[in-house]
Amino acid sequence: MSYFSLMIDLDQKQVLIIGGQKTALRKAHQLKQFGADIHIISETICDQLRSYPYEIRSVKPSDICSRYDLIIAATNQREVNAWIAQMCKQERILVNVVDDPALCTFIFPAILKQDDVIVGIS
Ligand X SMILES: NC(=O)c1ccc[n+]([C@@H]2O[C@H](COP(=O)([O-])OP(=O)(O)OC[C@H]3O[C@@H](n4cnc5c(N)ncnc54)[C@H](O)[C@@H]3O)[C@@H](O)[C@H]2O)c1
Residue of minimal CB distance from ligand PQ2? Answer: 122
Binder to ligand PQ2 among 53, 101, 118, 119 (CB under 6 A)? 101
Residues 103-122 that bind ligand PQ2 (CB under 6 A): 104, 107-110, 122
Residue 35 or 57 having the CB closest to ligand PQ2: 35
Distances (CA, A) of 104 to 30, 49, 81, 110, 117: 17, 23, 10, 16, 26
The contacts of residue 90 (CB under 8 Å, 6+ apart) are: none
> From the list ligand PQ2, ligand X, none, which binds 30 (C-beta under 5 to 8 Å, kind-based)?
ligand PQ2
> From the list ligand PQ2, ligand X, none, which binds 77 (C-beta under 5 to 8 Å, kind-based)?
ligand X
- Counting Cα atoms < 13 Å in the Cβ hemisphere of 37 gives 7
2 in contact with ligand PQ2 (CB under 6 A): no
Distances (CA, A) of 32 to 26, 40, 49: 10, 12, 12
How many H-runs (helices) and E-runs (strands) does the chain carry?
2, 7
> From the list ligand X, ligand PQ2, none, which binds 122 (C-beta under 5 to 8 Å, kind-based)?
ligand PQ2
Yes or no: say if 97 and 91 are a contact pair by the CB < 8 Å rule. Answer: no
96 in contact with ligand PQ2 (CB under 6 A): yes
Which residues lie near ligand PQ2 (CB under 6 A)? 26, 30, 96, 98-101, 104, 107-110, 122
